[in-house]
Structure 1
Amino acid sequence: MSLRCLLVDDSIRFLEAARTLLERDGIPVVGLASTGAEALARAAELSPDVVLVDLDLDGESGFDIATRLADRVSSVIILISTHSLEDFEELVAGSPARGFLHKSDLSARAIRQVVGGGGTAPPT
């Protein structure tokens, strides 16, 4: 299953590293965004299958961005962070996101697992 992905994070280094990792694993990254406004514009323009959204975008809430994305596009939204899920579990559960991935667990397999079954992928 090919999943076209949009990455949303305020760290250019993370965006490039994640793009390389995911594309090597067979998930095409069709776009990058570093702000909520860019994420909304890219998602509308590119219609990705999945959008990975960092919880903290330089002062912007990834939860707010996920909600705005869910209102406008049909993409699966997965929240990502360097923080542990336990720190945000209730907020993640109450969000329109399909699930959560710790950035260190990011992989094509983990994304496919969240997209296919919902929830949080176990560490790989």
Structure 2
Amino acid sequence: MPMRCLIVDDSARFLEAARTLLEHDGVHVVGVASTGAEALARAVELAPDLVLLDVDLAGESGLELAPRLARSAASVIVLISTHPLDDIQELVAASPARGFLHKSKLSGQALRDLSGPDPGPPAR
């Protein structure tokens, strides 16, 4: 059964590109959201296995949204960004996210690796 994923990002172009890429890689994208409120509602409504959450949402912080998502949905959270992990490593480590992916490294296999029982150190 394919992994069910919710993508949260404020860029319509990235949402479409990520959906296409992940669907091609065997990940079922059940929904997308571009704001924190929309992400919370969609996560509860759709109950995805994984929430792919951008660190920088327009006017909001994905890092601040992550704990609220973790409390409201039983999903694995993976943070994504165009920032290098080295720049935000402490913030990622302090979050309830399972891991981090640079947007350029996004793939279905990377998400499967992070959502497994022992993800190891965050991917770069």
Any idea what SS the aligned residue of 2:51 has? strand
Any idea what SS the aligned residue of 1:52 has? strand
Give TM-score scaled by structure 1 length. Answer: 0.95
Q: Could you tell me which residue of structure 1 aligns to residue 123 of structure 2?
A: 121
Q: CA RMSD in A?
A: 1.0
Q: 1:69, 1:55 → 2: CA distance? A: 13
- Asked if structure 2 preserves the Cα contact closer than 8 Å seen for 1:111 and 1:121, the reply is no
Q: 1:65, 1:71 → 2: CA distance? A: 10
Q: 1:112, 1:120 → 2: CA distance? A: 13
Task: Point out where structure 1 has 5 or more consecutive residues left out of the alignment.
Answer: none
Q: 1:98, 1:108 → 2: CA distance? A: 15
Q: 1:50, 1:86 → 2: CA distance? A: 23
What's the CA shift for 1:93?
A: 0.4
Q: Which 4+ residue blocks in structure 1 deviate beyond 6 angstroms?
A: none
Q: 1:3, 1:75 → 2: CA distance? A: 11
Report sequence identity in percent: 67
Q: How does 1:44-83 map to 2 (within 5 A)?
A: 44-83=44-83
Q: Could you tell me which residue of structure 1 aligns to residue 26 of structure 2?
A: 26
Q: Could you tell me which residue of structure 2 aligns to residue 17 of structure 1?
A: 17
What's the CA shift for 1:121?
A: 2.8
Q: How many residues align?
A: 122
Q: Could you tell me which residue of structure 1 aligns to residue 88 of structure 2?
A: 88
- Asked if structure 2 preserves the Cα contact closer than 8 Å seen for 1:113 and 1:121, the reply is no
